[in-house]
Amino acid sequence: RGWILHHKAEGQGSAHSHAGFLCGLGLRGSLRVMPVADCYKYLRLQHDTTSVAVILGMAASHLGSMDGNLARMCCVHIPSMLPATYSDMEVASPVQCTSVLSLGLLFARSAHRMMTELLVAEIGRRPSDRALHDREGYSVA
């Protein structure tokens, strides 16, 4: 954990490289040691690339675990899975796509019926008035 935070640099260009670093660690399974609280610190920055890297990296590190905290972290970024009172919340399209994909990774090989039905409904959902710009990417996820 300390090693990851030690490699965090300042500045916009370095934010992208740190996001790549986090995603790479996640894809290799090394983000298992990072607490979810640290994930929220990264997500609070509202930097799309970093959000995508953290969400995807954590899901890849916890492949098939059905971790409730990580599932909640993903669901928060999918507007249709939030209560109606949060309908005005804007979430970037790449972050939404990553959240759907990450839920699939978290529940991989679990045969979890409710999550399967939610994801299938989400993938087949018609775009709303605030249409998702990358709808194809969203459906592929």
pLDDT tens per residue across span 13-62: 688 888 999 999 999 999 998 999 989 999 998 899 999 999 999 999 99
In terms of Cα–Cα distance, which of 56, 60, 58, 38 is closest to 48?
56
Residues 67-126: tens digit of each pLDDT: 999 999 999 998 888 888 876 778 888 898 899 999 999 999 998 899 989 888 887 776
How far apart, in Å, are the Cα atoms of 46 and each of 14, 95, 108, 124?
15, 10, 27, 27
Distance from C-alpha of 44 to C-alpha of 51, rounded to nearest angstrom: 9
Each as own residue / partner, the long-range contacts of residues 5-10 (CB below 8 Å, 24 or more positions apart, any chain) are: 5/38
In terms of Cα–Cα distance, which of 46, 39, 52, 55 is closest to 5?
39
HSE toward the beta carbon, residue 71, CA cutoff 13 A: 17
pTM: 0.85
Distance from C-alpha of 104 to C-alpha of 60, rounded to nearest angstrom: 10
Distance of CA 24 to the CA centre of its chain: 14
In 31-55, which positions are buried (b, 16+ CB within 10 angstroms) versus exposed (e)? beebeeebbeebbeeebbbbbbbbb
Q: Which amino acid is at 28?
A: R
